[in-house]
């Protein structure tokens, strides 16, 4: 194989080239030293009416598109077409799976709904648009793969790919005349104008090596080997010491059995007699009303406290007690209505009594100790007192000329 490869290289002008060139002209190249000079030259070439020519630069040059009077690329049409195919394919796939193949009723929703289908539709649109844009760029627009393009292995390509700027005019152009083209490019300021000849072997007749059985076999073997290694790693290696990274370490998981304790339960109740750090227990929790300690409300009478109390009351209390504490439940008979908070009994209660009911619950009312913290409970008590005063106002509460009596 190495011997056959070596035979393809020939020495031309002291350099080893891939293969010998023919006498058929491929085109003319001209090298320019600055971006400004190549832009001006490109404008002149366009004015002369040449159609098959190109500019090669080591980096993009602003304004070159206008100088060459390039038409908008048609690549966008390919991107739009395959993006649309991706979107329609995704919608059709989701509609078939959800509406025909595997119907599931979820919360009364329709089998196929557009809003939840948008993420998958978006992903498939982007995937097909990006994938086929690359394929069209390489295969259709750039005519790749090519293994012996005539511009390769030339001094022109070495320079314009690193530090110079160049113009190439193809021999396939209808106006192409070697002498006229060379003279024109020299008159535009190029000091390096050369003819480029085609290779002796016609590149269009060369069998593309990527389709050879040997290459396809290597590609398939690599894919199979990658799949096997991935399967072994993901299914066996990561579960083997030391690669399991303590996946199977002794630990207690929620809702799981445990052999560490005699009763087999992994979830444990708090140790009796202990208190969580920073937590102040309620001393009368679980005791009857007659045994509670009479504690004054520690929360101040401020606007912020009343707003907090109103917010928590509206959230947790008003569904049963009503917005104004009258016992007119908003649950439409789905739960027994509680007594009014404006009775003489409740109005004569101490703040600690109401606080105690919130913590312990009463009759069918459950405890709200886990939903509402200590300060929020006292804030609710303040708000209940405000509701009671608003619904049972005294004459002394009515302002006269802006002042109370």
According to DSSP, the β-strands at 21-32 and 403-404 are unpaired
Instruction: Please state, in angstroms and rounded to a whole number, the distance separating the CA atoms of residues 59 and 160.
Output: 9
Give the count of beta carbons closer than 10 Å to the beta carbon of residue 329: 17
Instruction: Please state, in angstroms and rounded to a whole number, the distance separating the CA atoms of residues 104 and 5.
Output: 63
pLDDT score recorded for residue 18: 52
Q: Fill in the DSSP letter of residue 70.
A: P
Helix axes 35-48, 178-187, angle to 10 degrees: 140
* Residue 263 CB contacts under 8 Å (≥ 6 apart), including other chains: none
Q: Fill in the DSSP letter of residue 362.
A: B
Q: Which residues of the chain have pLDDT under 70?
A: 1-19, 105, 107-108, 145-147, 202-210, 290-291, 293, 397, 399-405
Comparing CA positions, the residue from 53, 2, 48 lying closest to residue 28 is: 53
Comparing CA positions, the residue from 185, 206, 198, 194 lying closest to residue 152 is: 198
Q: pLDDT per residue over 146-172, tens digit each?
A: 667 888 888 999 999 999 999 999 999
Locate 116 and state its tokens: 């939840």
Comparing CA positions, the residue from 347, 350, 329 lying closest to residue 338 is: 329
Give first-to-last CA distance, the chain, whole Å. 114
Helix axes 303-312, 374-391, angle to 10 degrees: 90
Provide the H-helix boundaries in 136-198.
155-160, 178-187
Q: How far is CA 379 from CA 271, 293, 325, in A?
A: 31, 19, 15
pLDDT score recorded for residue 210: 67
pLDDT score recorded for residue 92: 95
**Distance, C-alpha 63 to centroid of its chain:** 35
**Distance, C-alpha 317 to centroid of its chain:** 41
Locate 295 and state its tokens: 């504690």
What DSSP element (H or E) covers 199? strand 192-199
Q: DSSP of 140-154, one letter per residue?
A: IIS----S--TTTTS
Angle, vertex CA 74, rays to CA 70 and CA 80, nearest 5: 145
Q: How far is CA 290 from CA 295, 352, 380, in A?
A: 13, 12, 22
Comparing CA positions, the residue from 347, 345, 335, 351 lying closest to residue 301 is: 351
Q: Where are the domains of the chain?
A: 8-206, 207-269, 289-398
What DSSP element (H or E) covers 299? none
Please tell me whether residue 31 adopts helix, strand or coil conformation.
strand
Give the count of beta carbons closer than 10 Å to the beta carbon of residue 139: 11
Arch. (CATH architecture) of 289-398? Orthogonal Bundle (1.10)
Angle, vertex CA 166, rays to CA 163 and CA 168, nearest 5: 150
Locate 307 and state its tokens: 């707003």
């Amino acid at each position: 194989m190495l011997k056959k490869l070596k035979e393809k290289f020939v020495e031309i002008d002291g350099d080893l080239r891939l293969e010998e060139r023919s006498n058929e002209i491929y085109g003319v190249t001209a090298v320019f030293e600055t971006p400004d000079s190549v832009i001006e030259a490109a404008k002149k070439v366009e004015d002369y009416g040449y159609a098959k020519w190109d500019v090669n630069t080591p980096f993009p040059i602003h304004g070159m598109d206008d100088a060459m009077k390039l038409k908008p690329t048609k690549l966008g049409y390919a991107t739009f077409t395959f993006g649309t195919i991706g979107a329609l394919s995704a919608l059709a796939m989701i509609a078939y799976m959800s509406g025909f193949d595997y119907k599931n009723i979820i919360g009364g929703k329709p089998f196929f709904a557009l809003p939840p289908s948008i993420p998958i539709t978006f992903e498939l649109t982007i995937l097909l648009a990006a994938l086929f844009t690359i394929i069209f760029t390489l295969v259709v627009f750039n005519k790749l793969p090519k293994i012996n393009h005539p511009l390769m292995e030339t001094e022109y390509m070495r320079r314009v790919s690193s530090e110079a700027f160049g113009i190439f005019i193809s021999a396939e152009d209808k106006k192409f005349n070697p002498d006229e083209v060379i003279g024109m490019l020299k008159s535009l300021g190029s000091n390096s104008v050369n003819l480029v000849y085609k290779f002796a072997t016609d590149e269009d007749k060369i069998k593309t090596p990527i389709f050879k059985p040997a290459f396809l076999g290597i590609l398939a073997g690599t894919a199979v080997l990658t799949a096997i290694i991935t399967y072994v790693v993901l299914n066996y290696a990561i579960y083997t010491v030391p690669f399991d990274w303590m996946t199977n370490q002794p630990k207690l998981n929620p809702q799981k059995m445990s052999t560490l304790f005699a009763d087999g339960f992994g979830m444990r109740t708090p140790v009796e007699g202990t208190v969580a750090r920073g937590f102040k227990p309620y001393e009368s929790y679980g005791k009857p009303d007659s045994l509670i300690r009479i504690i004054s409300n520690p929360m101040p009478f401020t606007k912020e406290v009343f707003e907090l109390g109103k917010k928590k009351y509206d959230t947790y209390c008003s569904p049963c007690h009503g917005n104004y504490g009258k016992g007119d439940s908003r649950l439409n008979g789905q739960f027994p209505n509680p007594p009014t908070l404006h009775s003489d009994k409740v109005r004569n209660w101490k703040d600690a009594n109401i606080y105690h009911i919130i913590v312990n619950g009463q009759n069918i009312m459950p405890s709200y100790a886990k939903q509402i913290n200590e300060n929020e409970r006292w804030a609710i008590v303040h708000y209940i007192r405000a509701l009671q005063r608003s619904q049972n106002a005294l004459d002394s509460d009515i302002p006269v000329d802006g002042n109370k009596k």
